[in-house]
Structure 1
Amino acid sequence: MAKRIIQVEEKVPFKMLLPLSVQHMFAMFGASVLVPYLFGINPAIALFMNGLGTLLFILITKKKAPAYLGSSFAFIAPATIIIKNMGYQYALGGFVAVGFCGCILAGIFYKFGTKWIDVVLPAAAMGPVVALIGLELSSSAASTAGLLDKVVDPKNLIVFLVTLLVAVFGSVCFKKFWSVIPILIAVVCGYIAAVLCGMIDFTPVLKASFFAIPHFQFPKFNINAIVMMLPVLLVIASEHIGHQLVTGKIVGRDLIKDPGLHRSLFADNFSTMISGLIGSVPTTTYGENIGVMAVTGVYSVQVIAGAAILSIICSFIGPVAALIQTIPNPVIGGISFLLYGMIGTSGLRVLVDHQVDYGKSTNLILTSVIFVVGLSGIKISIGNISLSGMVLACMVGMILSLVFHLLGKCHMLNEE
């Protein structure tokens, strides 16, 4: 029997809404909170902005694009340098500038349309690019779980396996309501396993005050910091297009056309700009939540909005925020292990759905080159920005697709 699909616009009963929303919030939590930790700020402000940014995204995209905005990793390299030399407030100024320029880029998409995407990202290129979003993160999931350490801690392995196995077998064996919350159940089981292994310290929870206001601060602007940060725009634009493509394939809708790439890209960057103005970290659409949708078949924006509201509430409740922060890495790693794989599989689905003909040399070359570039570890540095993985592969694929298109127009392809 096919899994029950809850589509984008469908409403969900409250008894289902709460656990489904918690599931989304937990899925993004580990990676999302890591960024503010690296920047040396309290994660509560990131929880607040992730929730607010997600609600803004839903409104701007007319409730047609299910996406949860979490902390962006793309800014880490330049922001770390700026924070070290100038302070965090100047990094905030860079976030604002990048977000503003991203909003302008969205306006350019609105003016000139998106038909060019079919030229620069045909299915033979789109499929591997989407797959790389998940595949290049696979080592990150293993690392988070502690499986790449020189000596693997048995406790980490136990918690990882409990979390992963519950998620895997729950996704294929759970029935009725339980079938839509296997990720949440896996997180709970993994957490219980961590408690039994003595890995959880509840001291921060007991010491936390009940009500705590996130630490807001305002940006300062420096032209050098802004110039150092601006190249990130190329990275996040490529990442955003990839996420919208894979989400569209999962929910069975063309999100590039409706609500439109210009709306989703504007919403993504507008959120980043607001984040910089209030002292938070840049935001972006998140692969973990795309994976949750792929596993559960629940695409409702009501659920995403519920997760966003919960994130905002948790940012003000000290013990809750502290409790969530005690979720150990092996639990996050176990969940990510499955979710990243689901994203990779969605890329292969693009190739199948479009019936890509690999008898054509252009299709074979496109897919081959993109996979090799994305998985080889090649890096190209532009100033303080390093392009690698999916982003570099996407750029190479776009350039190669455009060249093949022009050669075809000139009747220079041998397959003609």
Structure 2
Amino acid sequence: MKKKIIQVEEVPPILEAIPLSLQHMFAMFSASVLVPNLIGINPAVVLFMNGVGTLIYLLISKGKAPAYLGSSFAFIAPAGIVIATQGLGYSYALGGFVVTGAVFCLVALIIHFCGTRWIDVILPPAAMGAVVALIGLELAGNAAEMGGLILTDTYTQIDPKKVAVFLITLCVAVFGNVLFRRFFAVIPILIAIVVGYIAAACFGLVDWQLVDQAPIFAVPNFQPAKFNWTAISVILPAAVVVVSEHIGHQIVTGKIIGRDILKDPGLDRTLLGDGVSTMLSGLVGSVPTTTYGENIGVMAMTGVYSVWVIGGAAVISMVIAFFGKVSAVIQSIPGPVMGGVSFLLYGMIAASGLRLLVEQKVDYSRSRNLVMSSVVLVTGLSGAFIQIGQVQLKGMSLGACVAMLLGFIFWLIDKFHLANDYADAPEEEVAQVEGENV
């Protein structure tokens, strides 16, 4: 039975839209709240500004590019360095966030005038499919870690209860996606989280202390940004990571919804939306934003692409920011529950990369295609990194940069061979062959 698709511009009935929006909000909540907790700031301001930023993003992208903006992990390390630096502090990290957002806007302006044809040239399908697959594969370890399947500093031994909750949640999500009918077929993630939470409570894995201590109402702790060149120079290199991540996310989102959002509304608009959101977040005390793989996975799994649903999730996030008890209940969802749903969502993203390779009919009998996919995947999954200031370029971001570099080199080789092979040919014939190669 083919899944019903709710298209980008469709407005679901309110009774359907609310649980669909809750599903998107739950999917991003755990990761998005983790960032302010690691930095040491109030999560309420982050939840509020993530919602505001998402609405701004949807408005700037003309409601044609469904995406939820959550907290970016790329800034945790540089922000921590600024906070720990004597004489600075988090207010100066905020100034770095504002400047980084301005850089996003500048890059968007350059793309507006230069276009996106360069992406087709330096990211051919063999590279693009591998980059998309990396988005999910890179995150798979995080899902397994949350599920208690990997020994870490947090989980020093395998806990059967956590593994059981992980498996229960994952099974509900997997079999629910296949077996559920009617409206339940589009909210398997929400149902899996609820069932997983109940199972975790039965196993005694839910910490109610956070809920008991949380106030009923809580006003987000807004604070102004301060600017210092040292802090800006530490924060700014993270822009490279987020821009490459943004391009990858837009490519995979376009493939999932069946539309070329790099052209309409355009990569310039989506990056501008992310830039404006990051600037505003920095100005009031929040963290930089980025598109979220969790929400991309929800769209891939459920077939719900509506920007109205995502906008509803943004509004819910803004409202929750003022209700401490509600926020605490959601924060109390144990790692194995979120690990169970994320395990499937990240896999859906990786599968979207494979789907792209199949649909584009990538010919792996050609050495170029085989080499490009191989190098990109190994680069992203090997743990290799490049240090840029206080920021590590690794995983999907490094893989995307390597893919672009290889694509550009192969393009130059093609141009060189073309110049030699058609040195005496008419200009019309050369132009035709160039178009076919691109």
Same fold by TM-score greater than 0.5: yes
User: What is the CA-CA distance between 1:145 and the residue it aligns to?
Assistant: 1.7
Name the counterpart of 2:121: 119
Count residues in correspondence.
Answer: 415
Are 1:18 and 2:24 matched, yes or no? no
| Secondary structure at 2:375 match in 1 | helix
Structure-2 change in CA distance of 1:151 and 1:247 (3 Å):
same
Name the counterpart of 1:187: 193
User: What is the CA-CA distance between 1:210 and the residue it aligns to?
Assistant: 2.3
Name the counterpart of 2:2: 2
Q: Percent identity?
A: 61
User: What is the CA-CA distance between 1:199 and the residue it aligns to?
Assistant: 1.6
Cα distance in 1, alignment partners of residues 171 and 323 from structure 2? 32
User: What is the CA-CA distance between 1:200 and the residue it aligns to?
Assistant: 1.7
| Secondary structure at 1:75 match in 2 | helix
User: What is the CA-CA distance between 1:296 and the residue it aligns to?
Assistant: 0.3
Return the letter of the residue paired with 1:166: V
Q: How does 1:236-247 map to 2 (within 5 A)?
A: 236-247=242-253
Cα distance in 2, alignment partners of residues 112 and 128 from structure 1? 25
Name the counterpart of 2:82: 82
Name the counterpart of 1:271: 277
Cα distance in 2, alignment partners of residues 378 and 203 from structure 1? 40
Name the counterpart of 1:91: 93
Q: Deviations over 1:27-65 (max 9, x none)?
A: 011111000000101111111011111100110000000
User: What is the CA-CA distance between 1:324 and the residue it aligns to?
Assistant: 1.0
| Secondary structure at 1:411 match in 2 | helix
User: What is the CA-CA distance between 1:372 and the residue it aligns to?
Assistant: 1.1
Cα distance in 1, alignment partners of residues 391 and 188 from structure 2? 38
User: What is the CA-CA distance between 1:202 and the residue it aligns to?
Assistant: 2.5
Name the counterpart of 1:151: 157
Return the letter of the residue paired with 2:190: L
| Secondary structure at 1:364 match in 2 | helix
Return the letter of the residue paired with 1:220: K
Are 1:396 and 2:402 matched, yes or no? yes
| Secondary structure at 1:380 match in 2 | strand
Are 1:411 and 2:397 matched, yes or no? no
User: What is the CA-CA distance between 1:171 and the residue it aligns to?
Assistant: 0.4
Cα distance in 2, alignment partners of residues 240 and 203 from structure 1? 37
Name the counterpart of 1:227: 233
Are 1:206 and 2:206 matched, yes or no? no
Cα distance in 1, alignment partners of residues 399 and 218 from structure 2? 43
Cα distance in 2, alignment partners of residues 209 and 151 from structure 1? 34
Cα distance in 2, alignment partners of residues 124 and 2 from structure 1? 28
Q: How does 1:39-118 map to 2 (within 5 A)?
A: 39-85=39-85, 86-118=88-120
| Secondary structure at 1:74 match in 2 | helix
User: What is the CA-CA distance between 1:219 and the residue it aligns to?
Assistant: 0.9
Cα distance in 2, alignment partners of residues 403 and 209 from structure 1? 58
Return the letter of the residue paired with 1:364: L
Name the counterpart of 1:142: 144
User: What is the CA-CA distance between 1:153 and the residue it aligns to?
Assistant: 1.2
Task: Please provide the CA RMSD for this pair.
Answer: 1.3
User: What is the CA-CA distance between 1:205 and the residue it aligns to?
Assistant: 2.4
Name the counterpart of 1:323: 329
Return the letter of the residue paired with 1:216: F
User: What is the CA-CA distance between 1:208 and the residue it aligns to?
Assistant: 2.9
List structure 1 segments (4+ residues) > 4 angstroms apart after TM superposition.
Answer: none
Cα distance in 2, alignment partners of residues 246 and 201 from structure 1? 36
Cα distance in 1, alignment partners of residues 266 and 121 from structure 2? 17
Return the letter of the residue paired with 2:43: P
TM-score by length of 2: 0.93
User: What is the CA-CA distance between 1:203 and the residue it aligns to?
Assistant: 3.4
287-296 or 349-358, larger mean C-alpha shift: 349-358
Return the letter of the residue paired with 1:319: K
| Secondary structure at 1:152 match in 2 | coil
User: What is the CA-CA distance between 1:204 and the residue it aligns to?
Assistant: 3.1
Cα distance in 2, alignment partners of residues 385 and 208 from structure 1? 34
| Secondary structure at 1:262 match in 2 | helix
Q: Deviations over 1:171-195 (max 9, x none)?
A: 0110010000000000000000111
Are 1:373 and 2:379 matched, yes or no? yes
Name the counterpart of 2:35: 35
| Secondary structure at 1:349 match in 2 | helix
User: What is the CA-CA distance between 1:323 and the residue it aligns to?
Assistant: 1.0
Name the counterpart of 1:130: 132
| Secondary structure at 1:406 match in 2 | helix
Cα distance in 1, alignment partners of residues 371 and 407 from structure 2? 10
Cα distance in 2, alignment partners of residues 298 and 365 from structure 1? 35
Cα distance in 2, alignment partners of residues 192 and 95 from structure 1? 39
Return the letter of the residue paired with 2:133: A
Cα distance in 2, alignment partners of residues 168 and 137 from structure 1? 18
| Secondary structure at 2:70 match in 1 | strand
